[in-house]
Structure 1
Amino acid sequence: MNTNFVRAALLGGSALLALAATPAFAANTKPAADPAPAAAATDPATDSGELKDIVVTATKRETSLQKTPIAISVIDPTVLKDRHVQSLLDLADGTVPSLRVATFEARQSALTVGIRGIVPFDQNQTARDTGVGVYFDGVYLGRSQGLNAALFDIERVEVLRGPQGTLFGRNTEGGALSIVTARPTGKFGGSLTAGFGNYGAYNTAAHVNLPQFNNISIKLDGVIQHQNPFVKNPLPGSVGWGAYNRVGGHVAAVWKPVDGFSAELSYDQAKDENSPFYSQLLNYNPRGLPVATIAQINANGGKLPSGTIAPLSPLVVVSGDDRMKTADIGVPQQYSVDRTHGFSAKLNYDVAPGLELRSITAWRGVSTDQWDNSGGAHRTVFLPNGKFSRYSLSFMQQHQFSQEFQAVGSLPQLDYVAGLFYFTENAREQAATPSTNQWNADGTGYTILSQTALGTIGSGNQGWAPGSFFFQRGSFARAYSYAAFAQATYTPAGFDAFHLTLGGRYTHDKRNGTLYLVQGKSTNFPFTFDNSRFDPMVTAAFDATDTVHLYAKYSTGYRAGGANDRSQTFASFGAEAVKSYEIGSKMDLFDKRVRLNLAGYIMDRTGTQIDFDNVDTNPASPTYNLHTEETRNAPGTSKIRGVEADITTSPIEGMTVGASYAYTYTNVPLTPNPFLGNALTQVFVVYTPRNAASAYADYEVPLAGSEAKVRFHLDANYADPAYSFQNETTRTDKTFVMNGRIALADLPLTEGGTKMTLSLWSRNLLNNSFVYRRSAANAATLGDYGNFNPPRTIGLEGTVRF
């Protein structure tokens, strides 16, 4: 299909949107002013201790959080500041227990995002998707690369838990994560922030609203974030591990030429330089195998004798439970670089008192230059004069276009939403894995190999300079998605305590691509995926009292099929789908001093996409050190069961205390493992602890005779051990992280309203260390390896608001 024609037609539809008008009756509820699927949060409690209402727009219209029959967690700007959240990876501490965020491999440059046990193992590819949709100002983000860019002026981050297949569509079987930036106000004002901390950290941010001019309001945002490595690299001139440099800018303009019509244009661009977390050797020879001597290895032609394990170089330090501060082996390491950019145009037209038409048009793109040398000697066996330290290089570019039309309206006893959606993307990647170091004859020393290959480039003769790569794989993929959706809520006349919501979404997905390079050889392995489906939703809600609301919900969602570009043939796999049954209650108790929300759910998933991971550890093999994956759809039904609870209370004036808990049970059927002759293998859901919990306490004390106040914040977050690989029984450590902040807030600087806030913050306040990602894949050749969480960080920050 000619995509230029499709884009032109859709843009023409946007222009004609303002001309489409039909009569409607007054709305029962107010359509959301912001088309993004978001939630607006306010201060949790009033001065009297009564918890304030929170307005959400998860149903595309403004409703009370407590009366909206969806499990939603809202992360407002206060939470982001109290926890010093600068990027999505900072939410990996467990801020929302059912939301799981982790690095893919050890890389900050790509994140794994999951909700309610729908967590992909490897979505960091050209031809596959995640099970949780991530949205930026209402625009779906097609790739996981670039997700850890610096956050701009965030109005809210909200987590919609459970399948969102009706209003959000494909790839939201676990839920949706929506990031919403603050819109232009049309009044001059803004804020300037500067801070510094340990590990050489500093951050600055500027957010400025310009006065409205000719009905146009403009807002400008800029951010800079930096942190030095928390694991140093002994090799001079090379970057350590855990470092980042982030910079980004965002501009938005809203034009309101007449009442009832607005056009919002926005553009953002960001650059994220980062280095991976260090992969440490946690133990050596855990299976107690005979240790081969150097003489035995030399006598065997430089290979390990069968049934033995290689000796450990005296230079390699086995860390055990200790996070290393300086790596034992210096390796070449430079920053990975993610560049993201996007433009969107949003049109809103109130054609009648009860009907609003909307259009969201967006172009986005991301490119990633990945330089991951996180393992050093800790993931490669020692052999005399052997090469080690696998440098994982990947160069990916992606561009996407999306168009969505929405009609949000009301009739007597009926609120409805209907719309059309189109999405297309192109992604391309090439990858190489040169070794950077070489042992001497007895392992007491090593040399750094030349980054420029001399002679004919091959798998055993390559470097990491441009022009010296031996590309192990290369692929490109295209995706197209079309959808039509509608949802309506009916409240019977005379019985306004009952609400019945029906919804459905029809989606047609097409994807194709080619694996054109395998092990340096040109190939032609094409794949296609073509599928249509309908996702229904039924919700029955009952207002037991003015402050107690009950609901029961049935919904479905799915994750599109695709192909694994780490495989050898690019064979396609099918979609996975989930059916969800959920009951819940939302209650404001004791004169609205206690808010208690409960949810219980059963999800049955079919076609579960399982990645079988294999690294060739045989030094004599032509694919030695090659990382290969094959993806299969698991037979039968995967079971996910869970209970969630959120409580917020204001026990005394100025204090708010809250806690959240998530219990998640998962079970995946035995699945044929292609690396074990298709033997049925037990597989696991990654990064999903059985029990996870978070608690916090906030306390504000006004300063006598001043508008200023002192604010105290403390939070604690716990999670059980979890699997980090789908086909390994090894689990991570349990996790416990505390964060804290003390702020002197709203200090008056001028009579015009300029105020300052000074704060002292700390993440991982107790400096706990734990392994959040662990593998026993090398247990027979070396030992388990893992990645530790970041150490304690602490800093001072000041913000001036004007």
Structure 2
Amino acid sequence: MASAVALAIASGGTAFAQENNQGFGDIVVTANKREQSLQKVPIAISAFDETAVRAARIENFRDVVLRIPNFYADSVSRTQTSIAMRGAGSLEDSPGSDQAVALFVDEVYVGENSGLDFDFFDVERIEVLRGPQGTLFGRNVMGGAVSIITRKPTTDTTATLEGTFGRFNQIDVRGMLGGALISDTVMGQIAFSSKNSDGYARNEVTGNRLERDNTQSVRGKLRFHPSEDFDANLSVNYMRDKSKGIARKLYGDVPAALNAPDQLDVTQQDMDGGYDRKAYGATLRLDYKLPIGTITSISAYRYGLHRTNVDLDGTPLEIAEFKLQQNRVKQLSQELRLGGTAGDLDYVLGVYYLNVKLRRNEFLTVEGYPGSLFDEIAPGGTVAPEGRGQYINTESYAGFGQFTWHVSDRLRLTGGARYSWEKKSGQTYCLQDGILCSAYLLDVSDHWSALTPKATIDFDVADGIMAYATVARGFKGGGFASDFPDAESARAGGSFDPEFAWSYEAGIKARWFDNHLQTNVTAYRVDYSDLQVRQINGPFTIVGNAGKSQVKGVELEIVARPFAGVEIFGNYAYTDGKYKSLVLEDADYSGNRLILTPKNSFTVGGSYTMEFDADSSLTLRGDVLYKSKSYLDVSNDDLLTAKYDGVVNLSASYLFGGGKWEVSLFGKNVTGVRTPSTAQDYSVFFLSGDDLAAGKRVIATSYNRPTTYGVTLRWKY
């Protein structure tokens, strides 16, 4: 890297000195709870502004995951998504657990995985912070944070309307209307999104299409801004998802009598599966400027009811099926903080409260294929109880503060800490005929606390070049496992401990050649203690803590504008993560690689814009995404892996004169790369003991989406 920079300096920058070649503008982010230029924030952060979100067609959480180094997701369904960043992640998704990477929408924490998959629309900016962010962000931010900022109403009357028609009869409609209402001090805005498609997979048993989309969302905002000293923003949102069909496949040594189709998108399921989800919420943000700083209050309520049914085994038989998985969440949160500047000192002080009531009920069928080991264990075989569930009430309190001292015009020192205390209590239980059964009903309760400090030094080496180093501690509370088939395993499962991390990070953010080349480099190491892990093997679920784990790596982001109308971008991450100590049920996995952690990942691409008369233009854009092999299980089984081996996305957009109309042609995953989005070992359900002893295997999986393409027509006022 140093030689490349030296070569660029030696060249005198002539390649970047083209006349009328506009350099980079500043992307303003709020990672430190105040507005700053992205290049001035001493944090490893990737940001997409509104233009980038639209150009890259970032429409949901999965699109963000693909485009960020060190970010990965395992998704059984929209309501069962596990995410990881820099090695921090777990497949455990019970109500008594938490995600290691946190999602925030307008600074409101979204913790449960059943609520992660929603339509991104009316987005002003997406910020992805890598590494522990436990000082200023909500809770449980071990691996990183994804912060989605939606647009605020303004006094300007604005409107957009766009429609998309694409492969698989995709029909999407989005729109927004906003502006001043009663006067220039009161503004309003409403945005909506409707996504529909016939689905890319087909079920030969029912004759229906699978992976169909049918989602509607709306967000309304009201803003009262009577003076520069006071700003009140009320936001309400609603989402309804009635999408149908969840495709599951088997591969490996599948019994010949099942005649499993070879095509990835053709299944033989006795049940199509699908979703019945609704969610709504409200957020009230108040900002009041005082002589000592700005007081910010963020009050939020969220409700979600997510029902899913899925044929887990993907066969015409009732081997493993969720007849119903229902998640009901009620969340109330309040943050109050004071931020400002006193002389050479920037500061943020605050308190935080969160209450989450989450209940999950699961009604499932578990049987064995005739002659399988499971059929021998449970002949005829539905395992009792038929249902199981968990209710957890989480209360979290925190106080936090962060101070940045501007020692000189070039040197800054930052120190901060957060003290968190949280309690989880509730019940783990079984269900029979839809009501509580006598097999087990366990009361669970525990509490944890932690101090998570952070210290940073950053220095302007030269104009446009900043170097920084950070040490920070991360914390994620303990919890309680669920998914137990009987009382004995439920009592033995018990609770799992909280996990901690110490992160050490150094980086350089630089702009060269009059803002025509930007290079951001980060090197880091994270030492984890008691990393929470989960292993699934057929009907058996094992949850525990890894004693010690470590991940280290390098991240590189480059953007260049060498000529007028040309932008070239790329990011790369090298990640080396291992369980230094991990034993589950007497199986020693020490030395294995961390799950959901590809060793190499990158995105490279570019765009070219040609300007014409009357302010019309044509923009061509393309990118290639790659993530090397990632293990989906702590055993590091080569049959339980995923790899994104060169996903190519292309688009061409023509902006008509006047700037009101735009038409775009797009193709996503045009190379047709297919890889498991999740995978579980279901061998015990389909194979005999002798087959298992001989090393035969059957894996149940879902795959990522195939090639999609279409056209979008957009109008803007």
Alignment of 1:633-712 (within 5 A): 633-635=545-547, 637-674=548-585, 678-682=586-590, 684-703=593-612, 705-712=613-620
Alignment of 1:52-131 (within 5 A): 52-92=25-65, 94-103=66-75, 105=76, 107-123=77-93, 125-131=94-100
- Is 1:331–1:436's contact at 8 Å kept on the other side of the alignment? no
TM-score of the superposed pair, with normalisation by structure 2: 0.89
Q: 2:264 aligns with which of 324, 339, 358?
A: 324
Give the Cα separation in 2 of the matches to 1:777 and 1:374.
10
> 1:127 aligns to what SS in structure 2?
coil
Query: Which residue in the other structure is 2:293 paired with?
Result: 355
* Superposed displacement of residue 792, structure 1: 0.4
Query: Which residue in the other structure is 1:11 paired with?
Result: none
Cα–Cα, structure 1 residues 406 and 256, in superposed 2: closer, same or farther, change >3 Å? same
The alignment status of 1:333 with 2:272, answered yes or no, reads yes
Query: Which residue in the other structure is 1:559 paired with?
Result: 476
Q: 1:431 aligns with which of 352, 362, 366?
A: 362
> 1:199 aligns to what SS in structure 2?
helix
* Superposed displacement of residue 633, structure 1: 1.6
Query: Which residue in the other structure is 2:418 paired with?
Result: 505
* Superposed displacement of residue 571, structure 1: 1.0
- Is 2:385–2:430's contact at 8 Å kept on the other side of the alignment? no
Alignment of 1:434-449 (within 5 A): 434=365
Q: 1:598 aligns with which of 521, 544, 561?
A: 521
* Superposed displacement of residue 235, structure 1: 3.4
Structure 1, gaps ≥5 residues long: 1-44, 286-310, 381-386, 442-457, 463-468, 616-626, 749-753
- Aligned residue identity for 2:338: A
Give the Cα separation in 1 of the matches to 2:545 and 2:368.
39
Query: Which residue in the other structure is 2:542 paired with?
Result: 630
* Superposed displacement of residue 79, structure 1: 2.6
The alignment status of 1:610 with 2:541, answered yes or no, reads no
Give the Cα separation in 2 of the matches to 1:747 and 1:672.
65
* Superposed displacement of residue 630, structure 1: 2.9
Query: Which residue in the other structure is 1:452 paired with?
Result: none
Give the Cα separation in 2 of the matches to 1:696 and 1:719.
15
Cα–Cα, structure 1 residues 497 and 614, in superposed 2: closer, same or farther, change >3 Å? same
> 1:720 aligns to what SS in structure 2?
strand
Give the Cα separation in 2 of the matches to 1:108 and 1:437.
26
Cα–Cα, structure 1 residues 72 and 537, in superposed 2: closer, same or farther, change >3 Å? same
Cα–Cα, structure 1 residues 612 and 435, in superposed 2: closer, same or farther, change >3 Å? closer
* Superposed displacement of residue 142, structure 1: 2.3
- Is 1:277–1:788's contact at 8 Å kept on the other side of the alignment? no
The alignment status of 1:724 with 2:635, answered yes or no, reads no
- Is 1:732–1:772's contact at 8 Å kept on the other side of the alignment? no
Cα–Cα, structure 1 residues 276 and 665, in superposed 2: closer, same or farther, change >3 Å? farther
- Is 1:150–1:272's contact at 8 Å kept on the other side of the alignment? no
Please say which of residues 94-103 and 139-148 is displaced more in the overlay.
Answer: 94-103
* Superposed displacement of residue 709, structure 1: 0.6
Give the Cα separation in 2 of the matches to 1:459 and 1:220.
55
Query: Which residue in the other structure is 2:158 paired with?
Result: 189
Alignment of 1:760-771 (within 5 A): 760-771=665-676
- Is 2:366–2:382's contact at 8 Å kept on the other side of the alignment? no
* Superposed displacement of residue 527, structure 1: 1.6
Give the Cα separation in 1 of the matches to 2:312 and 2:209.
9
Cα–Cα, structure 1 residues 111 and 274, in superposed 2: closer, same or farther, change >3 Å? farther
Query: Which residue in the other structure is 1:586 paired with?
Result: 509
Q: 2:705 aligns with which of 759, 767, 790?
A: 790
The alignment status of 1:395 with 2:307, answered yes or no, reads no
The alignment status of 1:368 with 2:277, answered yes or no, reads no
Identity %: 26
Hey, which of these two has a bigger chunk of strand by percent? 2
Alignment of 1:97-176 (within 5 A): 97-103=69-75, 105=76, 107-123=77-93, 125-176=94-145
Q: For 1:475-531, what per-residue CA distance to the aligned partner results, in whole angstroms no more than 9, with x for missing partners?
A: 101000000000000012xx3211000000111111111112167733221222211
- Aligned residue identity for 1:417: V
Count of residue pairs brought into register by the alignment: 669
Give the Cα separation in 1 of the matches to 2:181 and 2:155.
4
- Aligned residue identity for 2:622: L
Cα–Cα, structure 1 residues 459 and 85, in superposed 2: closer, same or farther, change >3 Å? farther
Give the Cα separation in 2 of the matches to 1:340 and 1:226.
18
- Aligned residue identity for 2:58: V
Give the Cα separation in 1 of the matches to 2:264 and 2:417.
52
> 2:623 aligns to what SS in structure 1?
strand
Give the Cα separation in 1 of the matches to 2:46 and 2:582.
34
- Is 2:478–2:498's contact at 8 Å kept on the other side of the alignment? yes
Cα–Cα, structure 1 residues 536 and 461, in superposed 2: closer, same or farther, change >3 Å? closer
Please say which of residues 788-797 and 207-216 is displaced more in the overlay.
Answer: 207-216
Cα–Cα, structure 1 residues 142 and 783, in superposed 2: closer, same or farther, change >3 Å? closer
Q: For 1:370-401, what per-residue CA distance to the aligned partner results, in whole angstroms no more than 9, with x for missing partners?
A: 111143229x7xxxxxx535345211101010
- Is 2:368–2:381's contact at 8 Å kept on the other side of the alignment? no
* Superposed displacement of residue 416, structure 1: 0.4
Query: Which residue in the other structure is 2:497 paired with?
Result: 574
Cα–Cα, structure 1 residues 87 and 733, in superposed 2: closer, same or farther, change >3 Å? closer
Give the Cα separation in 2 of the matches to 1:332 and 1:46.
62
- Aligned residue identity for 1:101: A
Give the Cα separation in 1 of the matches to 2:636 and 2:519.
38
Q: For 1:677-704, what per-residue CA distance to the aligned partner results, in whole angstroms no more than 9, with x for missing partners?
A: x34334542221000000110111011x
Query: Which residue in the other structure is 1:744 paired with?
Result: 654
The alignment status of 1:422 with 2:358, answered yes or no, reads no
> 1:78 aligns to what SS in structure 2?
helix
> 2:629 aligns to what SS in structure 1?
coil
Query: Which residue in the other structure is 1:521 paired with?
Result: 437
Give the Cα separation in 2 of the matches to 1:741 and 1:374.
35
- Is 1:480–1:509's contact at 8 Å kept on the other side of the alignment? yes
Query: Which residue in the other structure is 2:22 paired with?
Result: 49
Give the Cα separation in 2 of the matches to 1:157 and 1:516.
39
> 1:713 aligns to what SS in structure 2?
strand
Query: Which residue in the other structure is 1:280 paired with?
Result: 249
Give the Cα separation in 1 of the matches to 2:555 and 2:423.
36
Q: For 1:270-325, what per-residue CA distance to the aligned partner results, in whole angstroms no more than 9, with x for missing partners?
A: 0123356533222227xxxxxxxxxxxxxxxxxxxxxxxxx4216333x3xxx423
Give the Cα separation in 1 of the matches to 2:532 and 2:366.
31
* Superposed displacement of residue 628, structure 1: 3.7
> 1:403 aligns to what SS in structure 2?
strand
- Aligned residue identity for 1:648: V
* Superposed displacement of residue 83, structure 1: 2.7
Query: Which residue in the other structure is 1:534 paired with?
Result: 451
* Superposed displacement of residue 470, structure 1: 6.5
Alignment of 1:157-306 (within 5 A): 157-214=126-183, 215-236=185-206, 239-275=208-244, 277-284=246-253
Q: For 1:198-222, what per-residue CA distance to the aligned partner results, in whole angstroms no more than 9, with x for missing partners?
A: 1111100110003242421000011
Give the Cα separation in 1 of the matches to 2:642 and 2:546.
27
Give the Cα separation in 2 of the matches to 1:51 and 1:372.
47
* Superposed displacement of residue 180, structure 1: 1.0
- Is 2:160–2:716's contact at 8 Å kept on the other side of the alignment? yes
- Is 1:432–1:470's contact at 8 Å kept on the other side of the alignment? no
